[in-house]
Amino acid sequence: MKSQPNVVSRIGHGVIDSIWRLGSAARFLGQVLWRSGLSWRRFQLIMNEVYASGVLSLIIIVVSGLFVGMVLGLQGYQTLQTYGTEQSLGVLVALSLVRELGPVVAALLFASRAGSAITAEVGLMKTTEQLKAMEMMAVDPIARVIAPRFWAGVISMPLLAAIFSIVGVFGGYLVGVVLIGVDDGAFWSQMQAAVDVRNDVLNGVIKSVVFGFAITTIALFEGYDAMPTAEGISRATTRTVVTSSLAILALDFVLTAFMFKGI
């Protein structure tokens, strides 16, 4: 009897709490955008973060891009071969990478590689009261710590996605043309005939910019909002990866529905 209202109130508390967090996340994003002037004037701050989140993610992006492209080449060949259209392998590999897999898989990797690192870093700064110490010294922690990480993520993400796509196409080429022996000219010419610069490549870039925006916002907010304990940081890091992965997939659906409606 007693547990019944407890459950209801706990659900209600959860809902109210998540609305509360959504509101403060929106306010946080507004503050980051508003106060990021300093980080653009001191560009070195952004550079350091591009190194931490972009350059250090490069290896995992390149390796997984290569393997995703090679798997696409193998699987695509198996299916296309039954219809005698293995010449279109290049189209299949390039379109699936440029439109979907490039931005989405690169964003998922970026969220778990760089997003979690950002959350842990900012969370630890908060726990050890470095952020408060900055405020005491009249240094704005949002402008000095948060904004450079935000813009570094937004800059790095489309570049990483583009690298992922091109390496993936190369992986598909390796398997399709070099290993299996699909005709070299047909592979490239059909790909070039089917992939449109504005409809496919540019939309992929737009997607990855949006994902970069979402991942860094979630990662920074979780870190900034983390409970200042060891357990709080671990929870915040987990939440960053889970929430940003879900956000990426949901945003991808919405963006795809907008972009490829009439095609």
Partner 1 sequence: MERAKLDFWVGLFVLAGFAALLGLALKVGNMSSFSSAPTYNVQADFNNIGSLKVRAPIKSAGVVVGRVSAIRFDNQNFEATVTLTLDGQYQFPKDTSAAIMTSGLLGEQFVALDAGGDVKNLATGDKIKITQSAVVLENLISQFLYNKASDAPKTDAAQTPTQGTQP
| Contacts to partner 1 by CB under 8 A | 44, 47-48, 50-51, 54-55, 58, 94, 98, 156, 158-160, 162-163, 165-167, 169, 188, 191-193, 195-197, 200-201, 204-205
Q: How far is the CB of 183 from partner 1 (least distance, A)?
A: 17
Residue whose tokens read 């709490």: 17
For residue 242, which of 106, 115, 61 has the smallest C-alpha distance? 115
Residue whose tokens read 């922690």: 141
Q: Judged by CB, which is closer to partner 1: 96, or 112?
A: 96
Q: How far is the CB of 155 from partner 1 (least distance, A)?
A: 8
Contact 218, 247 (CB under 8 A): yes
Alpha-carbon distance values, 133 to 38, 111, 177 (Å): 19, 28, 59
Q: How far is the CB of 210 from partner 1 (least distance, A)?
A: 16
For residue 162, which of 194, 209, 116 has the smallest C-alpha distance? 209
Q: How far is the CB of 164 from partner 1 (least distance, A)?
A: 8
Cα separation, 91 vs 187, in Å, equals 7
Q: Judged by CB, which is closer to partner 1: 35, or 188?
A: 188
Q: How far is the CB of 24 from partner 1 (least distance, A)?
A: 32
For residue 145, which of 129, 109, 179, 121 has the smallest C-alpha distance? 121
Q: Judged by CB, which is closer to partner 1: 36, or 96?
A: 96
Residue whose tokens read 């920074």: 220
Q: How far is the CB of 228 from partner 1 (least distance, A)?
A: 30
Q: Which residues of 107-116 are buried (b: 16+ CB within 10 A; e: fewer)?
A: bbbbbbbbbb
Q: Judged by CB, which is closer to partner 1: 66, or 227?
A: 66
Q: Judged by CB, which is closer to partner 1: 34, or 51?
A: 51
Cα separation, 245 vs 227, in Å, equals 22
Contact 168, 69 (CB under 8 A): yes
Stated length of the chain: 263
Q: Judged by CB, which is closer to partner 1: 60, or 166?
A: 166
